[in-house]
């Protein structure tokens, strides 16, 4: 058994790609439009995972996020009960500052220097984890309250 991807349904493909690629920094690695099924699949990888293999199989890529966009409008509920996506970052404070500057709400600030949460346009929680040891608590993050749910 080999882990391949996590699929999340999105309601606005452009807004989702803006969030995941332009703000979070993921890279689109593959796209598939299915006219008969009336859907588009977009596969995204973390920059360090682009072109790497998963499970030692040189023909496959590391695990990805699959955005599924159904062309016919649907109402999705319960994005929170999906759980969350998690990404390791080199500098939790710099990453959160960059996201905040791009208009992303930091729902759970990295008060502990280790973990933060943000949400996608479809309310999918995204956990950001500091690579290595936690950073020393620092302002403005150390005293920043949670906003909304995460």
Asked if residue 135 and residue 111 are part of one domain, the reply reads: yes
20 with 86, same domain? no
Asked, for residue 77, whether it belongs to a domain, the answer is no
Domain span at 39? 1-72
- Residue tagged 């199989």 (tokens): 57
| Number of domains the chain is built from | 2
For 62-131, the DSSP string reads SPEEEEEEESS------GGGG-EEEEEES-HHHHHHHHHHTT---SB--TTSSEEEEE-TT--EEEEEES
Burial state string for 58-90 with b = 16 or more CB within 10 A and e = fewer than 16? eeebbbbbbbebeeeeeeeeebeebeebeeebe
Indicate whether 6 belongs to any domain.
yes
Residue 23: give its domain's CATH number: 3.10.180.10
List active site positions: 127
Are residues 147 and 102 located together in one domain of the fold? yes
Per-chain mean pLDDT for the chain: 89
Structure confidence by residue, pLDDT tens digits, 16-45: 999 999 999 999 999 999 999 999 999 999
pLDDT digits (tens, 9 = 90+) for 74-91: 887 766 557 789 899 999
Q: Are residues 59 and 89 in the same domain?
A: no
pTM (two decimals): 0.80
């Amino acid at each position: 058994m080999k882990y391949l991807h996590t699929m999340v349904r999105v309601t606005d493909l452009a807004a989702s790609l803006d969030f995941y690629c332009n703000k979070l920094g993921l890279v689109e690695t593959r796209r598939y439009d299915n006219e008969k099924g009336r859907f588009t699949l977009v596969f995204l990888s973390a920059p360090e995972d682009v072109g790497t293999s998963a499970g030692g199989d040189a023909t496959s890529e590391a695990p990805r996020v699959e955005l599924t966009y159904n062309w016919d409008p649907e109402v999705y509920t319960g994005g929170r009960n999906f759980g969350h996506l998690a990404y390791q970052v080199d500098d939790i404070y710099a990453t959160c500052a960059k996201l905040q500057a791009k208009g992303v709400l930091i729902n759970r600030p990295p008060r502990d220097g280790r973990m933060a949460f943000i949400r996608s346009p479809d309310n999918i929680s995204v956990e950001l984890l500091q690579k290595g040891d936690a950073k020393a608590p620092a302002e403005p993050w150390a005293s920043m309250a949670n906003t909304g749910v995460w």
